[in-house]
Amino acid sequence: MVHDKRVKDVVSGWLTVFDDGSVDRTWTGPPEVKFMAEPVPPHDDFIDGVAVKDVVAGENSGSRFRIYLPERNDSSVDKLPVILHFHGGGFCISQADWYMYYAVYTRLARVANAIIVSVFLPLAPEHRLPAACDAGFAGLLWLRDVSRKQGHEPWLNEYADFNRVFLIGDSSGGNIVHQVAARAGEEDLSPMRLAGAIPIHPGFMRSQRSKSELEQEQTPFLTLDMVDKFMELALPIGSTKDHPISCPMGDAAPAVEELKLPPYLYCVAEKDLIKDTEMEFYESLKNGKKDVELLINNGVGHSFYLNKIAVDMDPVTGSATEKLFEAIAEFINKH
C-alpha cells in the first residue's frame, strides 16, 4: 500500500513540510518575487565588473563554493581581501547561487574591491545544526589550506590577500559568522589572518518573545512563523531557541569575554523583528570588551538589502542599502 504523504505545514510561502518529514522548497508565495529565489549560473567573463565561478574543494570534502572576482585595473599589483560569505534562510532555505545573493554580492565585490567566497550550506531539517556551522568553518579551513599552498584555486592563488580575510553572513548566516569566528580563535590559521567579522541582522533570539517581535511589522524576509518553525526544524532535536547558536548571549553559550574574536562590524535594522535580541548580543560584545562597531540602518527591516524590488523602487531601502555597503567597504579597508 502506497502512503500518500500529506502537507503538515507551510512556512510563510518558503517551505512545505510533509507528514513523513520530507520538505519541498518550491516558492508558494507571490509569483512576482520568485525570481529572487532562482539560481544564477556562473560566468567566467566579467559582467558589470564581476566574474563568477562555482568550485568544489577537494574530491572528498564535497564542499562547494561560489567565488566572485571583481575586475582589476591592469596596472594594479595589490592583492584583494577575501570575504567568506554564509547565506541566510533560517538554516532551512536558500542557496548561495540564488539571485538575491548574486545581486548583493556582485555589488559588494565591486564596492569593497574584494573577492567573495560564498559557501553552499547544508540545509535543515535534513541536516540539523550544527551542520551549517561546521560547513562554514570548513570553508575557512579550506581558505587556510589554499593560503598554505595545500589547496589550489587559481583566482585565490593569484589575487587573494590572505592577510585580510573576513566573515560575512545574512540573517542565520550571521549566526554562522559568530560561531566560525569563535572557533577560529582556537585554531592556528597561519599564514592566513582573520581580520574581521560582519554579522548582518543575525538570527539571535530567545525562547521568550521579545518586545520587538511583538511590535515590529513582519515582512516576507522574516515572519514570526519563520522565526518559530525554521528554528524548530533547524536546531538539534529537543533544543529550544535558547541554544547557543541561536542565543549566544544566553546562559548555555560560552561567556563572550572568554572568546578570542576578531573585530566585528555588527549590523542591525531599526525595524527588524528580532532587533531587541540582536542588540542584547551587541551589549554582550561591548561588555566583554570586544572590538565592535555598530551600524543601525533606520527605517528598514530584516534583510532589507536582499529585497531587489525594494532596493530598486523604494528610496528609503535604496539609501539604506548604499549606506550598508559603504560601511562594509570602510570596515574592510581599515582592517
> What one-character DSSP code corresponds to residue 235?
S
Choose, from 147, 171, 172, 246, the residue flagged as catalytic: 171
Strand (E) positions, the chain? 7-11, 15-18, 23-24, 43-47, 50-57, 63-70, 80-86, 115-119, 160-170, 194-200, 264-269, 292-297
Burial (CB < 10 A; 0-12, 13-18, 19+), residue 134, is middle
Instruction: Indicate which residue of 147, 246, 302, 303 is catalytic.
Output: 302
- Report the distance separating Cα 311 and Cα 333, nearest Å: 25
Is there a catalytic annotation at residue 243? no
Is 127 annotated as catalytic?
no
Q: Is 312 an annotated catalytic residue?
A: no
Residue 204 contacts residue 248 (beta carbons within 8 Å): yes
Catalytic residue among 94, 272, 284, 303: 272
- What are the strands of the beta sheet with 43-47, ordered from one edge? 43-47, 50-57, 63-70, 115-119, 80-86, 160-170, 194-200, 264-269, 292-297
Count CA atoms within 13 Å of residue 84 on its CB side.
Answer: 31
Residues paired with residue 63 on neighbouring β-strands, in sequence order:
57
Cis link prior to 220 (omega < 30° from 0)? no
- The catalytic site residues sit at 171, 272, 302
